Structure 1
Amino acid sequence: MSNIQVNKLHTLTGHNDCIYALVEGPDPRFFYTASGDGMVVEWDLDNPKDGRLMAKVAHSVYALEVDKERNLLFIGHNFEGIHVIDLEKSKEIWSIKITEQSIFDLKAIGNELYVGTGDGIIIIIDIEQRSVKKHLKISKKSVRVFAIDPTKRQLAAGMSDHSIKIFNLADHSPIHNLEAHNNSVFALNYAPNKPVLISGGRDAHLNFWETKNYSLQESIVAHMFAINYLSFREDGNYFVTCSMDKSIKVWDSNNLKLLKVIDKARHAGHGTSINKVLWSTYNHQIISVSDDRNISIWHINL
């Protein structure tokens, strides 16, 4: 492993339960977290110590998404539906009750918000009309994670039935059904600089798919336990994974080489499962959130 220096810049506290959701704001100086306590908090990377409460809902929040064009924050409120915050006014402007299931992921593109639920349904919401446009029943098991390829206009859904399902965004028709992993798929992302989709899941493997025909190019054992999430650096040359094994790993996207392990013993990392990780486009710092109720901000000199 290369001699990369890691500095832990901040540990942010304030949530009273496991933190499950993390998303970068339309202004990437800000990011948002949400947790099992129903709190949604805004953080400022220029002044990270003081979080600002944006919303408090009755149940856990597993999923957040931003609409950069409209400056909106979408909150996936488990067993209820979607709350929408106008970030300029810092207030809720609408909500819609759509499910009595858990909401595991949200993705917005154009006029549509895609909602992945615990009963295997993708609910498509028309953002302008503030109404449900379509239900896609795609599995008997949970939709866990989404990734969008804006160039090819495709949506990938990682599933608890171990598959990855690819859809055409234009008409929502199915394109591929990939037999992806030996267990649930939790992590999914398209590379920003090459035609590659990376997936990870409960089987601790990372799988690399070319996106012309979605054939599997490589599969590696990447962690000791479940891979919960992955995030690319903006240029696509590096990505980070986080795991139930309490570690963050930094990878070279071009040769799939492991560059650094960030953990509790060596870097005062998280003490429990790390649920989400984000490579900031604002300052290229890495943000991680955990079951330990803490948010960590890291600087890595690559």
Structure 2
Amino acid sequence: MASNMQVQKITTLTGHRDCVYTLERSGEEHVFFSAAGDGMVVAWDLNNPETGELMARVSTSVYALRYIPGRNLLLVGQNQEGLQVIDLEDKKILKSVPLPKVAIFDILYIPELQKVFVAMGNGAVCVLHGDTFELQTIIRKSEKSARSLAYNPRTQELAVGYSDNIIRVYDAETLDLKHELDSHANSVFTAAYSPDGQLLLTGSRDAHLRVWEVANGYKERGYTIAHMYTINHLTYSPDGRFFATCSMDKSIKVWDAQTFKLLKVIDKVRNASHGTSVNKLFWSAHQNQLVSCSDDRTISVWDIKQVEL
């Protein structure tokens, strides 16, 4: 049955004083976090979206956040200054983890392995203990930035997208390098495994979205030129039927996860969307709302509805 996707902007959240670089879930579907070039980490409630709550302020820009479920902690990647562990209950910095003095582009927490992975601007992937957050080891396979991290629980594989245009797939437990995927022509800014673990999707500065078959030795299934410029981020819908991409071309696109058909373009002309680069997406199970953040210092909340035709 054909379906029609309807998108409506619910609200615009303001308060950040610089480009908003990242969004992260919390322990509740209706609450999420944002961080920006202003060093502010803010909690937002989709039930009462007008006012954000300041959770932490750090001295440099923040590109990456990661929520630690069960412990109500938030990991904040403070560029040049390492990792801050924030206790969300008390809004206190519990711990500062010194790391190489470079940008932190992504953070991943894998509870079953008790590991935290941190993608660094010097090409390192730092591996921290998932409980104490002590630095355990550093994976160094490139001189260029490690930009994006994705984990496949079915195969226990970690995919890392780098600025040398290569995606390297590691055994997340042993940290052995298993595959190098080198079809992209520019930095790999985003990577995500499909919810069933069968596919790896990657997006790059080359504007290409590439699809890799996990069980087939990461053979490339195909690609699409998804945007005009850099694909900054991609994320799956809570039910796994769709995924969304966002780009430096100021647009957000929604795709069918099975057919890879483009279903919807969200942009300034059609939807009063962002005026500059869209940096990150958060797709909440709370009323299926999609949240986007941008260099224009705003966060937008979108109502996404499937209407069967």
Q: Percent identity?
A: 46
- Contact map agreement 2:56 2:91 (CA 8 A) in 1: no
Distance in 1 (CA, whole Å) between partners of 2:129 and 2:293 is 30
* CA-based RMSD: 1.2
Mark the CA change 1:283 to 1:90 in structure 2 (over 3 Å): closer, same or farther. farther
One of 159, 162, 186 as aligned partner of 1:183: 186
Alignment of 1:1-302 (within 5 A): 3-110=4-111, 111-212=114-215, 213-302=217-306
Alpha-carbon separation, structure 1, partners of 2:142 and 2:249: 28
Give the Cα separation in 2 of the matches to 1:211 and 1:187: 17
Return structure 1 stretches of 4+ with deviation > 4 angstroms.
none
Contact 1:2–1:259, Cα closer than 8 Å, also in 2: no
- After superposition, the C-alpha distances for 1:160-216 in whole angstroms (9 at most, x for unaligned) are 000100011111111111113000001110110350110011111110111111010
Cα deviation for residue 94 of structure 1 reads: 1.1
Query: Structure 2 vs 1, CA of residues 2 and 265 (structure 1 numbering), >3 Å: closer, same or farther?
Result: farther
CA distance in 2, matches of 1:90, 1:104: 23
Q: CA deviation at 1:230?
A: 0.3
Question: What SS does the corresponding residue of 1:5 show, helix, strand or coil?
Answer: strand
Structure 1 gap ranges (5+): none
CA contact (8 A) 1:157 1:166 kept: yes
- For residues 199 and 281 of structure 2, the distance between their equivalents in structure 1, rounded to whole angstroms, comes to 19
Gaps of 5+ in 2: none
TM-score, length of structure 1 as denominator length? 0.97
Q: 1:152 & 1:72 partners in 2: Cα distance?
A: 27
Checking the alignment, whether the CA contact within 8 Å between 2:280 and 2:293 is kept in structure 1 is yes
- One-letter code aligned to 2:210: N
Residue 95 (structure 1) shift: 1.2
- Cα deviation, residue 127, structure 1: 3.1
After superposition, the Cα gap between the structure-2 partners of 1:129 and 1:4, relative to the gap in structure 1 and judged at 3 Å, is: closer
The answer to whether the Cα contact below 8 Å between 1:192 and 1:234 also exists between their aligned partners in 2 is no
State the Cα distance separating 1:57 from its structure 2 match. 0.8
Q: Distance in 2 between matches of 1:62 and 1:260?
A: 27
1:235 Cα shift?
Answer: 1.9
1:156 and 1:200 mapped to 2: Cα distance? 13
CA distance in 2, matches of 1:44, 1:188: 27
SS at match of 1:146: strand
Where 1:288 maps in the other structure, the secondary structure is strand
